[in-house]
Structure 1
Amino acid sequence: MATNDNGGFGGGEAHDIEFAFGHKRPKGRRLTLGKNGAKAQAWRTVTKAPEVMVRVSGGGKNLQHVKAHFDYISRNGKLDMVNDQGERISGKDQVADLFDSWDMDLSKGQGTNRQAFNVVLSMPAGTDPEKVLAAAQGFARETLYGKHQYAMVLHTQESDPHKDAPAHPHVHLIIKAEGYDGKRLHIRKATLQTWRESFAEQLRDRGIEANATPRVVRGVTKKAKTPAIYHLEKRGESKVRAEKLNEAKTELNAGTQEMKPWERAILNRRNKTLREMLQAAKQYEGEGDIALATAIRQHAADLPKPETERHQLKKEIVEKVTRIRTQSKEAEQAHQVEKGTDKDR
């Protein structure tokens, strides 16, 4: 598959790119970047400060599903929940009482619309768990308080009774979709990015270095897998992956080099974003901050080449075939040596 040797990447997310380098404050952002704050943001980006993660992991479409998630994240009452009033909810009975207080049976669209959103906020392993929880509470209070009911649970490897508990501390946040005013919550891509920025700021307020750069600024081109797909692939049970592998094999055998429309779009975004990065570097250079301008240019040059899942699968197939051929050749050579040895005897 054709690739682009240019470093960096770009896209229609120009405001996000400018924000990541302190170059411009995007319209509607809560964060107020003064001159020093803008440069601090830029340095966090080029020095690759730990990235926060905020993702929607699903959401129930009826009250039974929502109650099941209450039980799941609280591990059936073994882990404390924290409600939107900051109160600790302990034990299975209190968790059930909290769920009942949400009056999920009165929400509209039962069985059709999501009645609640399941959101995960996390930081890398080694981050202070209690500060992660406090930051999640600060984020939720600022974003949701007085609008939607919500509750959260902190999961750590030490406290979570699950046998495969991950090492990184994370908070499961469940949000009632229907607000106090009857309006429903809609979570879009831009919403998640704004939430990431707010969560990162809450962490920094508590002394934890954290950043929330958009995927394009980090050079990430492959879409993140949903938890369901990830676990299916881990068990080798994903039909989607099997179909993609077969498609990749067919294209390799046919010698197909034509780029897919989305791959061409990725390259176009990468080139546009690279221009935005260099524009930010030029501006800082003009202000006399040579060190920051140099760091931004180096950040752009160090970005990985854009790679889609289709490209990665093709590489895996080629590497596997090469490995099998090498092993076969080595086995044949060993066999010939053995035959020669037998003749000498």
Structure 2
Amino acid sequence: MRRARLAHAVLRVTRGKGSEPANARLQRVARRVPEVMVKITGRTRDGGHLQRHLDYITRNGKLVLEGPDGERLSGPAEVRALAEDWRAELDVLASRKDTPVSLSIVLSMPAGVDPGRVHDASRAFADALFGDRHPYVFALHTDDRHPHVHLTVRALGRDGERLNPRKADLQLWRETFAAALRDRGVEAEATPRRARGVVRKSERTPVRKLRERFERGEGAMPETLKGALKDAARSPAEAAPWEVRLRQRQAQIRKALVVEALRLQASKTDADRTLGRDLEVFVRTLPPVATRREILARALGEDQGRKERGRARTR
């Protein structure tokens, strides 16, 4: 691979190659445009579970569910009928008893984005990815700072194929949603976490809610946090092998972006030189590489230091 294209490999695009100028994504990354969120929040395992989920996303029938080709379902009776239809079709078509009924997906953007455009982009996203293969319904929620859409997709396709997305599929989904938003005039990007200097995975929703309850003094410390604190307290003298690999990977990524920035700055084109300078600033302002264990260990050390200083003052 030519050195000048290392950055484009870092920002790997998995949809529609050649559909936009080569530097378009670099420009958005350097400007830190908002990142889309496409998250699988769960799977429903039977008709009753699906019914409860649809009741939740429709606010017990108060919100309209939209499906393919503009199909609209409103009211508790129509929602119940849909849940029963999907369950019955699963009973007939599924070859395995453990096949989930549906996949639950949330599509979201930061606060301030027009909810109508998020809704329209979600409609295009669902049609592009599932179309005639998997039945789906979705509803827009605006009772939160972040406009978001709850999309429920039947796991069993019309041809008997099961929906079982992998890591690469999720990246494609993010890129598809970001492109749909840009088509509607919303600045959006879907870069991999590693290209933004993010080395920690986002917290799973149930874990985050338990942690927030604990921090408000309303519940016990989650077991995951207890385990993380124990690991941090042990704080080995040397980094774990996976931490070494993570740092090496981040060093390679940042070097690739710097190489691209220097290449652009040497261009005869004003726009390229400007992008090169912006990209260099972006790399220089990336956060330090720190794992959760390292952050917790640092916090524990600072807390211990404060306690020792307090004891010294009271002597």
Same fold (TM over 0.5): yes
The answer for the alignment partner of 2:71 in structure 1 is 87
Amino acid at match of 1:147: R
The answer for the alignment partner of 1:10 in structure 2 is none
| SS of aligned partner of 1:199 | helix
1:260 pairs with 218, 222, 240, which one? 240
Give the conservation status (yes or no) of the 8 Å contact 2:10–2:253. Answer: no
The answer for the alignment partner of 2:59 in structure 1 is 75
1:319 pairs with 292, 302, 311, which one? 302
Offset of 1:261 from its aligned partner?
A: 1.7
CA distance change for structure 1 residues 176 and 83 in 2, over 3 Å: closer, same or farther? same
Offset of 1:111 from its aligned partner?
A: 5.5
Offset of 1:170 from its aligned partner?
A: 0.5
The answer for the alignment partner of 1:167 in structure 2 is 145
CA distance in 2, matches of 1:135, 1:202: 5
Higher mean alpha-carbon deviation, 230-239 vs 144-153, is at: 230-239
Offset of 1:108 from its aligned partner?
A: 2.0
CA distance in 2, matches of 1:111, 1:263: 40
CA distance change for structure 1 residues 134 and 20 in 2, over 3 Å: closer, same or farther? farther
CA distance change for structure 1 residues 113 and 329 in 2, over 3 Å: closer, same or farther? farther
| 1:115-264 correspondence runs (5 A) | 115-157=101-143, 166-236=144-214, 237-251=221-235, 256-264=236-244
CA distance in 2, matches of 1:130, 1:278: 38
Normalised TM-score (structure 2) = 0.88
CA distance in 2, matches of 1:327, 1:109: 66
CA distance in 1, matches of 2:22, 2:284: 22
Offset of 1:210 from its aligned partner?
A: 0.9
Give the conservation status (yes or no) of the 8 Å contact 1:20–1:41. Answer: no
Amino acid at match of 1:300: V
Give the conservation status (yes or no) of the 8 Å contact 1:62–1:110. Answer: no
CA distance in 1, matches of 2:9, 2:177: 16
| SS of aligned partner of 1:30 | coil
Give the conservation status (yes or no) of the 8 Å contact 2:37–2:109. Answer: yes
> Which deviations, in whole Å up to 9, do the C-alpha atoms of 1:199-222 show, x marking residues without a partner?
111111111111111101111001
Offset of 1:92 from its aligned partner?
A: 0.9
Amino acid at match of 1:86: G
> Which deviations, in whole Å up to 9, do the C-alpha atoms of 1:197-248 show, x marking residues without a partner?
1111111111111111110111100111111111121222311211221232
Give the number of the structure whose alpha-carbon radius of gyration is greater. Answer: 1
The answer for the alignment partner of 1:275 in structure 2 is 255
Greater relative CO, 1 or 2 (CA 8 Å, sep 6+): 1
The answer for the alignment partner of 2:22 in structure 1 is 38
| SS of aligned partner of 2:150 | strand
The answer for the alignment partner of 2:85 in structure 1 is 101
| SS of aligned partner of 1:247 | helix
Amino acid at match of 1:200: A
Task: Please list every run of 5 or more consecutive structure 2 residues that lacks an aligned counterpart in the other structure.
Answer: 215-220
The answer for the alignment partner of 2:15 in structure 1 is 29
| SS of aligned partner of 1:38 | coil
Amino acid at match of 1:197: E
CA distance in 2, matches of 1:149, 1:192: 19
